[in-house]
Amino acid sequence: DVKVTQSSRYLVKRTGEKVFLECVQDMDHENMFWYRQDPGLGLRLIYFSYDVKMKEKGDIPEGYSVSREKKERFSLILESASTNQTSMYLCASSPPGLVYNEQFFGPGTRLTVL
Amino acid sequence: GENVEQHPSTLSVQEGDSAVIKCTYSDSASNYFPWYKQELGKGPQLIIDIRSNVGEKKDQRIAVTLNKTAKHFSLHITETQPEDSAVYFCAAGSARQLTFGSGTQLTVLP
């Protein structure tokens, strides 16, 4: 079974802090994605990566950056956390072909910024 | 970019009844339409998908229909069971990116 793990289930940070969200997948997938999930807004794509050291902006990249130094690991970075970044963050991975393959999601990290 | 609208936002049905969730999309270039189910405390999981060259697809109690002319697609769940209670997301994709709908909270009442 594909397994996507996220470093924390719950995280509380202060405004202005630098925040790292880590995601690891064990299926050798090329593609990895970061989404945020908010009530009434569904899943919105922040960034995705289709190869090591490659990244592309999604629909809402402002205030975020990402890092993919190894194939299995994709990190989301909030350079200076703000209260409007309080949300559920979901990581996903998929085989090659950005759209037409099933995305496997992690359990999510609920981030609260105070 | 693509815009996906999903309705209803909440749906309650009696066990054994059918449930229908509808989505519309804006980009005629979209040609892949998956549905994901998210149970409490878990990430979404793919339950069924359809491509634009197919009008309908069925997998046991779940079916999806697609009307490309009208740019809408629907999820049908028959003989609902309590374990069907979850949040369901539709999505539309083309080449590079999936765009998700806002989600439907389905509650199956025993």
Residue contacts between A and B (CB atoms, under 8 Å):
58
> Closest-CA residue in chain B for A35?
B100
pLDDT digits (tens, 9 = 90+) for A73-83: 999 999 999 99
pLDDT at residue A15, as a whole number: 98
Instruction: Name which of A40-44, B76-80, B86-90 the model is least confident about.
Output: A40-44
| A12 Cβ contact list (under 8 Å, min separation 6) | A111, A112, A113, A114
Of B46, B49, B97, the CB nearest to A45: B97
CB–CB of A99 and B42 under 8 A?
no
Q: How far apart are CA B83 and CA A33, in angstroms?
A: 28
Tell me if chain A has a CB within 8 Å of the CB of B26.
Answer: no
pLDDT digits (tens, 9 = 90+) for B82-103: 999 999 999 998 766 899 999 9
Q: How far apart are CA B55 and CA B63, in angstroms?
A: 11
